[in-house]
Amino acid sequence: MQEIMSKEHELLSLGGQAAAAAHSLGTPFSTIKIISTDLLKKFKQDNETKKDIELLANQIDRCSEILKRLTLDPIIEDDFIDKDLTIADYVKEIVKSFEATSSKKFILNYDQNFNSLSVAKSIEIVYGLRNFIGNANKFAETKVFISIKSDNSFTEIIIEDDGKGYPRDVLRKIGEPYIKSFKSSNKSKSGLGLGIFIGKTLLEKNYADILCRNSETRGGAEVIIKWKNKDFVNL
């Protein structure tokens, strides 16, 4: 119970920090928007560069809109996925959102997915999966592998990348907030563990079991997210 209350406290604290960030980031985002508009005019004849700048401007608009809503309500829901979907469709939509900006190749395997059960829209599942898939995208060298296995009893998502994997000094603390590897080669990308903490906590609140380890086949990190199908009705 102490552990659950501690995680809830951390999440509430992060909600307050998100609202504060919304106020603080307004000016920098406005500056980026102005510069991107100027660059768009400068490179309007260069189709490739123009395409990248338009994508940048679009993402800045999206960030500004999210921050605007956070200012009004720190726990407001995103409208990224707004209907009931199967777990496979959840993953497809999330991967599609990363493919728009990532150079990594996403390899999806649904060969062992035999369950077409629709899951009620859950913003916590969306954000949880997004965090783990986003981590794989961030740390992969070139490829992210996602497999879905399901039958009448269980549904499992396996996310792997071909990066360097979890540092040994971090692996035993996976799921704790504010962790960072002491290895110099990992410092630049390692962050503070918040993404994994948030993803793990949100998914566990929605009845998932999470296992984080290093992949024996891909060389990078591996996350296994598993549900009992009967628990989906409680979401």
Are 143 and 171 in the same domain? Answer: yes
> 158: helix, coil or strand?
strand
Domain count, the chain: 2
Instruction: Identify the bridge partners of residue 158 per DSSP, sorted by sequence position.
Output: 147, 224
Q: Measure the N-to-C terminal CA separation of the chain; round to a whole number of Å.
A: 21
What does the pLDDT read at residue 184? 46
What does the pLDDT read at residue 148? 96
Structure tokens at 50: 């123009």
Are 175 and 130 in the same domain? Answer: yes
What does the pLDDT read at residue 2? 58
Q: Which domain holds residue 92?
A: 85-234
**Are β-strands 118-119 and 85-86 bridged in parallel, bridged antiparallel, or unpaired?**
antiparallel
Structure tokens at 106: 């996403």
Are 105 and 48 in the same domain? Answer: no
pTM exceeding the 0.85 threshold for the entire prediction? no
Q: How far is CA 101 from CA 52, 67, 137, in A?
A: 9, 20, 11
What does the pLDDT read at residue 74? 46
Are 94 and 47 in the same domain? Answer: no
Last residue of one domain, picked from the residues 72, 103, 129: 72
Measured in whole angstroms, the distance separating CA 3 from the mean position of its chain's CA atoms is: 23
The phi-psi region of residue 166 (left if phi > 0; otherwise alpha if psi is between -120 and 50; otherwise beta) is beta
Percent of the chain with pLDDT over 90: 33
Q: How far is CA 172 from CA 108, 148, 219, in A?
A: 28, 26, 18
What does the pLDDT read at residue 62? 77
Last residue of one domain, picked from the residues 27, 51, 72: 72
